[in-house]
Amino acid sequence: MERKVITGYDTVFITGAPVDAGVRAMLDGLSRNWPEMLVALGGSTLGPFAPWSSMRDLVPAGRGEVYVVRDPVMKERWDDVGYSLMDGGEGPFAVLYRPSPQPAIEVQLHEDPYDFGLGIGFEPYSATLVTAGLSLVTVVAPDDESPFSRGLLDSLRQALISKASTVPPALTT
């Protein structure tokens, strides 16, 4: 029997925060609403799904794949239909992360990074983002519009921001 590959909606974050700590913080928060949450760690193979409480300390530093479902019912549905929202508006998701393989990338800025607040119209422009020492974090969610998926992204963004403040600043010479 041929297995269908069903993908979700990818969103990428670039961060200097310790990603494993951010993922743990995000999932700790989610586990309050998902008491039966199951997590599997990936890599060359996908490990078995187990309760979050037994997987929490196993989230790898530096590079990892973390697959998350609310409960066994969501896991079974994920196997059949992939990343999709269930009737309650929630769905499975994954967080994949690794060190940036490129030392710098060109980006297009759509928001003023200086935030001068002068009220002058902002015109998007290109910039170079030095990614050496940073991590790429991809969230694979069921969609890009639902309150559930938007909440996941906001929760991880806030967790990474809070963990970034614990990273010591670079030494200057």
User: Each residue of 100-115: pLDDT tens digit?
Assistant: 999 999 999 988 888 7
Position 106 in a domain: no
Position 41 in a domain: yes
Position 155 in a domain: yes
Angstrom distance (rounded) from CA 27 to CA 102? 28
What pLDDT score does 166 carry? 65
Range of the domain at 67: 9-98+134-164
Q: Which residues contact 47 (CB under 8 A, 6 or more apart)?
A: 40, 41
Q: Domain total for the chain?
A: 1
pTM given for the model = 0.87
Position 112 in a domain: no
What pLDDT score does 65 carry? 96
Q: Take residue 61 and report the two structure tokens written for it.
A: 């530093």
Position 31 in a domain: yes
Position 57 in a domain: yes
Q: How many CA atoms lie within 13 A of 42 on its CB side?
A: 11
Position 128 in a domain: no
Q: Are strands 38-41 and 64-69 parallel, antiparallel or unpaired?
A: antiparallel
Residues in the chain predicted with pLDDT less than 50, given as ranges, are 1-5, 172-173
